[in-house]
């Protein structure tokens, strides 16, 4: 067995209705809390009022800030600058991956003298020291796994100099992640599909990474099999936002009325959590290399980019493996995974590789993430995107023409 290391993970509370454990957990950090949410779901569903009321009943004074879309460095600096470690004893983020990333970054920047941009990989010149105010994450989507990672992705989107870069340090892993599948029940199918494809991509890329370990592989395979069994069902429907508060207080009612959907959502929430652990320890591949560049240049949801590129990028990696002397290990892992996902052992590596590609392409047809061209990307953009895209932990370092070919097949 090869030597490996594994980063710290947050304390985890997983289960239906566990959102209501938040006030008691938050109280352990103090009575002044900064709450970060998105701008619509929590307000429209009544969850925000429920959470604020529950925190208030525990004697917690809560300041609330809402994040619209993917967080920018300027947004982080503005909000973090309003608070000190005394006025915000902890930060809580309830929302999708962008909200969790925002909360994570804000918790890391409260009390700091520099701008967050100074600490961003590939942009700034400073290394964050990992100190922060305590941070609790409650995801409402099942995709990024940000509740278990050590980085926060920030964006500055424009067509020429835009970027998506990470604030990263081992110390930024959340103190506590509360994963409540009930919060995910109202996630619209289109959003759920993008998130689910993102989670699978993270698991799959970590599985094929040169930095993969027996531990990260066990988590990745578990997450991918749960995804394969549940991703279509989890993206098939959504519960009315108006019912979520009721189900948070009485989760058994959700089980009675939406048993199959809740089971599928629960599996995808768990897969997403595992994907965060895997990416934090094994890294990511070329799909996320593309997504980082594309997300800085075009306003395309991150999960949509992953969903569009997953199948063509996988075909390119497999084609490269077939032509490489170093590709045997990758093909063996792909073959093993295909057999597990297909329910029967594949007799030959090429058979398994083709079967896996067919599964991913079938998901693309059913979940309909679209094409890159639907979001304003044309053939004239491909060389720029390909030249800026990098993935140190992709199983192979693809040539520029290979990257362009992947993008062309996704236009």
pLDDT, tens digit only, all 411 positions of the chain: 888 999 999 999 999 999 999 999 999 999 999 999 999 899 899 999 999 999 999 999 999 999 998 999 999 999 999 999 999 999 999 999 999 999 999 999 999 999 999 999 999 999 999 999 999 999 999 999 999 999 999 998 776 677 889 999 999 999 999 999 999 999 999 999 999 999 999 999 999 999 999 999 999 999 999 999 999 999 999 999 999 999 999 999 999 999 999 999 999 999 999 999 999 999 999 999 999 999 999 999 999 999 999 999 999 999 999 998 788 899 999 999 999 998 877 767 678 899 999 999 999 999 999 999 999 999 999 999 999 998 899 999 999 999 999 999 999
Which pTM does this prediction carry?
A: 0.96
**Residue intervals in the chain for CATH 1.20.1090.10:** 192-408
Residue 113: how many CB atoms within 10 A of its CB? 6
> CA 12, CA 302: separation in Å to the nearest integer?
25
CA distance 56 to 411: 50
Any residues with CB less than 8 A from the CB of 71 and at least 6 apart, and which? Answer: 98, 101, 102, 105, 152, 154, 155
Cα 103 to Cα 113: distance, rounded to the nearest angstrom: 18
Number of residues that make up the chain: 411
Q: What angle do CA 203, 213, 358 make, to 5 degrees?
A: 35
The span from the CA of 262 to the CA of 274, in Å, is: 18
pLDDT of residue 159: 61
Please give the C-alpha separations between residue 79 and each of 2, 106, 163, 388, in angstroms, as whole numbers: 44, 7, 21, 31
Asked if 377 and 411 touch (Cβ cutoff 8 Å), the reply is yes
Strand ranges of the sheet holding 135-139, from the earlier edge strand across to the other edge: 11-14, 176-179, 135-139, 90-95, 32-37, 61-66
Residue of 191, 72, 67, 83 lying closest to 199 (CA atoms): 191
CATH superfamily for 192-408 is: Dehydroquinate synthase-like - alpha domain (1.20.1090.10)
**Digit-coded pLDDT (tens) for 200-237:** 999 999 999 999 999 999 999 999 999 999 999 999 99
pLDDT digits (tens, 9 = 90+) for 151-167: 999 998 776 677 889 99
Residue 156 is predicted with a pLDDT of: 87
SS (H, E, C) the chain: CCCCCCCCCCEEEECCCHHHHHHHHHHCCCCEEEEEECCCHHHHHCHHHHHHHHHHHCCCEEEEEECCCCCCHHHHHHHHHCCCCCCCCEEEEEECHHHHHHHHHHHHHCCCCCCHHHHCCCCCCCCCCCCCCCEEEEECCCCCCHHHCCEEEEEECCCCCCEEEEEECHHHCCCEEEECHHHHCCCCHHHHHHHHHHHHHHHHHHHHCCCCCHHHHHHHHHHHHHHHHHHHHHCCCCCCHHHHHHHHHCHHHHHHHCHHHHHHHHHHHHHHHHHHHHHHHHCCCHHHHHHHHHHHHCCCCHHHHHHHHHHHHHHHHHHHHHHCCCCHHHHHHHHHHHHHHHCCCCCCHHHHHHHHHHHHHHHHHHHCCCCHHHHCCCHHHHHHHHHHCCCCCCCCCCCHHHHHHHHHCCC
In CATH terms, the fold of domain 11-184 is Rossmann fold (3.40.50)
Question: According to the model, what pLDDT value does residue 342 have?
Answer: 85
Average pLDDT over the chain, rounded to whole? Answer: 95
Nearest CA to 168 among 221, 224, 225, 122?
Answer: 122
The candidate with the shortest Cα–Cα distance to 134, out of 31, 42, 280, 37, is 31
Predicted pLDDT at 265: 99
Q: Are 178 and 136 in contact (CB under 8 A)?
A: yes
Is residue 174 within 8 A of residue 12, CB to CB? The reply is no
| C-alpha span between 109 and 76 (Å, rounded) | 8
Q: Is the dihedral of CA 383, 366, 141, 179 positive or negative?
A: negative
pLDDT of residue 411: 94
Q: What CA–CA distances, in Å, run from 30 to 24, 82, 164? A: 10, 18, 33
């Amino acid at each position: 067995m090869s030597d490996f290391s594994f980063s710290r993970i947050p304390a985890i509370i997983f289960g239906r209705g566990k959102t209501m454990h938040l006030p008691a957990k938050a109280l352990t950090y103090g009575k002044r809390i900064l709450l970060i949410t998105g701008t619509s779901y929590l307000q429209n569903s009544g969850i925000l009022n429920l959470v604020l009321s529950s925190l208030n009943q525990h004697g917690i004074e809560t300041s609330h800030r809402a994040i619209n879309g993917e967080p920018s460095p300027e947004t982080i600096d503005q909000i973090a600058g309003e608070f000190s470690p005394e006025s915000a004893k902890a930060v809580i983020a309830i929302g999708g991956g962008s909200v969790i990333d925002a909360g994570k970054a804000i918790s890391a920047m409260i009390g700091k003298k520099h701008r967050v941009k100074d600490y961003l990989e590939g942009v700034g010149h400073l290394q964050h020291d990992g100190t922060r105010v305590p941070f609790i994450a409650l995801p409402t989507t099942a995709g990024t796994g940000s509740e278990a990672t050590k980085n926060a992705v920030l964006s500055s989107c424009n067509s020429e100099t835009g970027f998506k870069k990470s604030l990263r340090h081992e110390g930024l892993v959340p103190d506590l992640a509360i994963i409540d599948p009930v919060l995910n029940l109202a996630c619209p199918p289109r959003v759920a599909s993008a998130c689910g494809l993102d989670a699978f991509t993270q698991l799959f890329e970590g599985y094929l990474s040169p930095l993969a370990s027996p531990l990260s592989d066990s988590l990745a395979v578990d997450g991918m099999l749960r995804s394969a069994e549940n991703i279509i069902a989890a993206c098939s429907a959504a519960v009315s936002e108006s019912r979520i508060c009721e189900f948070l207080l009485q989760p058994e009612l959700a089980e009675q009325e939406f048993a199959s959907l809740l089971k599928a959502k629960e599996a995808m929430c768990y897969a997403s959590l595992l994907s965060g652990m895997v990416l934090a320890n094994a890294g990511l591949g070329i799909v996320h290399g593309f997504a980082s560049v594309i997300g800085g240049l075009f306003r395309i949801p991150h999960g949509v980019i992953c969903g569009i590129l997953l199948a063509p990028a996988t075909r390119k990696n497999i084609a490269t493996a077939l032509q490489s002397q170093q590709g045997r290990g990758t093909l063996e892992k792909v073959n093993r995974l295909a057999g597990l996902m297909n329910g029967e052992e594949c007799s030959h590596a090429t058979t398994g590789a083709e079967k896996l590609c067919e599964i991913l392409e079938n998901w693309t047809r059913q979940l309909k993430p679209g094409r890159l061209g639907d979001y304003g990307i044309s053939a004239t953009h491909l060389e720029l995107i390909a030249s800026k895209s990098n993935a140190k932990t992709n199983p192979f370092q693809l040539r520029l023409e290979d990257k362009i070919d992947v993008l062309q097949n996704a236009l």
